[in-house]
Amino acid sequence: MDGRFGLIGRSLVHSYSPRIHAMLGKYEYRLYEMPEENVCSFLRSSGLDGMNVTIPYKKNVVQFIDELSADARAAGSVNTVVRRPDGTLFGDNTDIYGISELIRSVAGNNIAGMKALVLGSGGASAAAVRALSSAGARPVVISRSGENGYSDIEKHSGATLLINATPVGMYPDTGKSPVDLTRLPGLRYVIDMIYNPEKTALLLQADSLGLKNAGGLLMLVAQAARSSELFTGRKLPEDTVASVAKHLAAQIRAGIDPHADLPVIRLLVINGPNLNMLGIREPAIYGNKTYADLVDFIGRRAVGLSDANGAVVFAECFQSNHEGAIVDKIQEAYGTADGIVINPAAYTHTSVAILDALKAVALPAAEVHISDVNSREAFRKVSYAGMACLRTVAGYGFDGYGMAMEFLKDYVMRTGNQ
């Protein structure tokens, strides 16, 4: 375990944060609801190693922080607090990173000079303005009390991007929208920072108008991932945000409550050399599906193995053609994963280093091979990695990965090895 962390706010009953952080790493993460008058004492004396802060306290906590990051100072709000070894508090605003990732996913990397409307004037709005300004865009804040209001929003009809940073349209008041998009004919992109529901009334209207749009789930995961890195000091893989967001959205669509207090079983799925060439390499043996198809299959299988009454399964995929990189990845799994599914490919028959790494981390592991290696050349029947695995599944194609994942889920649940 990497420490004790949590989320503070006034009402947290609908928070996805514990589920997200459980997919990001193996550390304690709990919800702490409290009135405003308790925030200062909690920050100072809770004993937590770090915490996230949500509405309505993101601006309020600034006064209690010993040192602010440049982003937190610019936004005037904090959503991530880290307790340093000397007891002082460092505050950052990872919402800015989160909204930046969301903007890039919708409008691309080059938004310099783009006029963008930001609805709302709270902490979320400040983060959006900071992200837009840093990227060279021209943000305009629309609020009920500022110089730019909703009543005359048409004067900004040339705006290209709109970001909703208000709670209007959030569950349970899902039928509401902060603005009628037909009043802004120049829009091309619409972002709603709300993540529940997945499609707000605002985004549904954007769909009907043919505007590219996205909800706030990716931002939620991205800011959590950056917070996790600050909490643990561990850099997450580049594809973590997209992977966790995709998994979480699939869980929700499958009817698995994102608020439910369910254990999360983290599986690392490692693929060795030449498996990135699936679909090209010897299709008579390995089939016509690509490595991207395999990653998609593993993600869907993880959701399929998740049970609203049992546990959630999250699978991280990794592929390398290099022995050392695979060894490094196995070592990184120590303390961060509950089990390893591994297809060492050609290293199956040669790599003592991979065998030793699997033994060193001592995590439950299952070996997988797409083809039936026992019916092929004699050298393929020798498996060093298999000596450290609880089970080997060979000859079942992609389904073999699902079988190995199911075995490890059941093993972890049965043994409590989590």
Q: Which amino acid is at 143?
A: S
Helix (H, G, I), strand (E, B) or coil at 146: coil
CB-CB contact of 223 with 94 (8 Å) = yes
Which 3 state secondary structure label does DSSP give 197? coil
- The answer to whether residue 58 is catalytic is yes
Residue 303 near residue 372 (C-beta atoms within 8 A): no
User: 125 with 133: CB under 8 angstroms?
Assistant: no
Nearest to 22 by CA among 316, 292, 300: 316
Which member of 58, 246, 329, 409 is catalytic? 58
Q: 251 with 258: CB under 8 angstroms?
A: yes
Contacts of residue 198, Cβ cutoff 8 Å, sequence gap at least 6: 215, 217, 249, 252
Distance CA 403, CA 218 (A): 30
CB 339 within 8 A of CB 367: no
- The C-alpha atoms of residue 228 and residue 21 are separated, in whole angstroms, by 7
Q: Which residues are catalytic?
A: 58
